C-alpha cells in the first residue's frame, strides 16, 4: 500500500497519514498508481459536479469544479504548466530554458498559457454541464466524463517518466525516472485503460490510445527544445492531456 499512498501524497493535498518518508524505490513504484489518483480525483469531481449542479447554473458549477480540481492537486500541475510555458518559449538555448523553468517568477508566456488553459477548461466544462453537449456513450450520465481527463492525464505522466530521458542530474523527477520502469507503465496503462473502457466503452479506448500518441508527440517536440524532460514537463503534459480529453469529449458529443 505504501506506493499507492505515496502517489496520493505526492499528487494531491489529501491528508493521508503514513509513517516515515517514502524511499526512492517506493517513489518509483508510485508511478504505477498515478492514474489511480486520477480515478479518485475524477470521482470526487463527478460527485461534486452533480451536487453543485443542483444549486448553481452550469457556468457557475464549471468554475467551482475547476477551482476544486486545482485545489485538490495542490496546483502542482498548473504550476508546472506555467513554468514550462515560460521556459520552453522564453529561452534561446536549452540551458536558458532549463534555468527559466526553475525561476519562480511568472513571465508573459506563463501568464498567457495559464489564462488560456483555464479558460479552455472552463469552456469545455460549462458546455458539458449545460447539457447542450450530449455524452459520447449513450446512457452515460454526464458527471462521469470527469473521470477521463484526470485519469488519462496522470497516465501520460507515468508514460513520460519512463519513456523519455530526464534533463537534470538531480531532483525529485530524477528519482522517479531512475526508480520507475516499464512494469510501472504497464500497471498505470492497465488502470487507465480499465477506467476509460468502463466509463466510455470504445470511445474511452480510443482516448486512451490517443493519450499515448499525444504524449509521444509532445515529448518528442519537447526534446527539440530541451535535453530531456523535467518535473515541470511531466506536470505540463498532464494539463495538456486533461484539456485535450475535455475538448475531444465536447467536440465528439
| pLDDT value for 140 | 46
The reported pLDDT for the residue numbered 253 is 57
Q: Is residue 32 part of a domain?
A: yes
Nearest CA among 203, 191, 192, 194 for reference residue 248: 203
DSSP states of 55-99 as a string? Answer: TS-HHHHHHHHHHHHHHHTTTHHHHHHHHHHHHHHH-SSHHHHHH
In a domain, 184, yes or no: yes
Compute CA distances 44 → 19, 164, 209, 211, whole Å: 26, 31, 25, 22
So what's the pLDDT on residue 131? Answer: 67
Q: What angle do CA 94, 96, 99 make, to 5 degrees?
A: 110
User: Residue 97 falls within a domain, yes or no?
Assistant: yes
Classify residue 121: in a domain, yes or no: yes
Give me the pLDDT at residue 16, please: 80
Which residues lie below 8 Å from residue 150, measured CB to CB, with a gap of 6+?
38, 39, 41, 42, 45, 69, 242
Could you tell me if residue 9 is inside a domain?
no
Q: Is residue 211 part of a domain?
A: yes
- Taking Cα atoms as reference points, which of 220, 143, 179 lies closest to residue 10? 179
Range of the domain at 215: 25-251
Q: Which helix or strand (DSSP H or E) is residue 43 part of?
A: helix 34-53
Query: How many separate domains does the chain show?
Result: 1
Task: Provide the pLDDT for residue 137.
Answer: 46
Whole-prediction pTM: 0.93
Domain assignment present for 216:
yes
Residue 178 falls inside a structural domain? yes
The 10 Å Cβ neighbour count of residue 183 is: 13
Per-residue pLDDT 10s for the chain (253 aa) are 889 999 999 999 988 877 777 788 889 999 999 999 999 999 999 999 989 988 999 999 999 999 999 999 999 999 999 999 999 998 889 999 999 998 888 899 999 999 999 999 999 999 888 864 444 444 445 578 899 999 999 999 999 999 999 998 887 888 899 999 999 999 999 999 999 999 999 999 999 999 999 999 999 999 999 999 999 999 999 999 999 999 998 886 5
Amino acid at each position: 500500500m505504501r506506493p499507492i499512498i505515496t502517489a496520493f501524497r505526492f499528487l494531491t493535498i489529501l491528508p493521508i497519514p503514513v509513517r516515515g518518508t517514502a524511499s526512492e524505490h517506493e517513489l518509483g513504484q508510485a508511478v504505477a498508481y498515478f492514474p489511480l489518483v486520477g480515478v479518485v480525483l475524477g470521482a470526487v469531481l463527478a460527485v461534486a459536479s452533480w451536487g453543485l449542479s443542483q444549486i448553481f447554473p452550469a457556468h457557475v458549477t464549471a468554475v467551482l469544479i475547476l477551482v476544486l480540481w486545482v485545489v485538490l492537486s495542490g496546483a502542482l500541475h498548473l504550476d508546472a504548466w506555467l513554468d514550462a510555458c515560460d521556459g520552453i518559449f522564453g529561452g534561446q538555448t536549452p540551458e536558458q530554458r532549463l534555468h527559466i523553468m526553475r525561476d519562480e517568477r511568472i513571465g508573459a508566456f506563463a501568464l498567457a498559457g495559464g489564462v488560456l488553459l483555464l479558460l479552455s477548461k472552463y469552456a469545455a466544462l460549462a458546455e458539458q454541464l449545460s447539457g447542450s453537449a450530449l455524452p459520447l456513450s449513450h446512457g452515460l450520465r454526464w458527471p462521469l466524463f470527469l473521470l477521463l481527463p484526470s485519469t488519462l492525464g496522470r497516465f501520460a505522466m507515468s508514460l513520460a517518466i519512463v519513456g523519455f530521458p530526464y534533463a537534470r542530474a538531480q531532483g525529485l523527477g530524477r528519482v522517479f525516472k531512475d526508480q520507475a520502469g516499464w512494469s510501472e507503465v504497464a500497471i498505470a496503462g492497465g488502470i487507465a485503460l480499465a477506467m476509460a473502457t468502463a466509463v466510455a466503452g470504445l470511445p474511452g479506448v480510443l482516448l486512451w490510445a490517443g493519450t499515448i500518441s499525444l504524449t509521444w508527440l509532445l515529448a518528442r517536440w519537447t526534446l527539440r527544445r530541451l535535453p530531456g524532460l523535467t518535473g515541470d514537463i511531466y506536470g505540463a503534459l498532464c494539463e495538456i492531456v486533461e484539456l485535450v480529453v475535455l475538448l475531444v469529449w465536447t467536440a465528439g458529443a
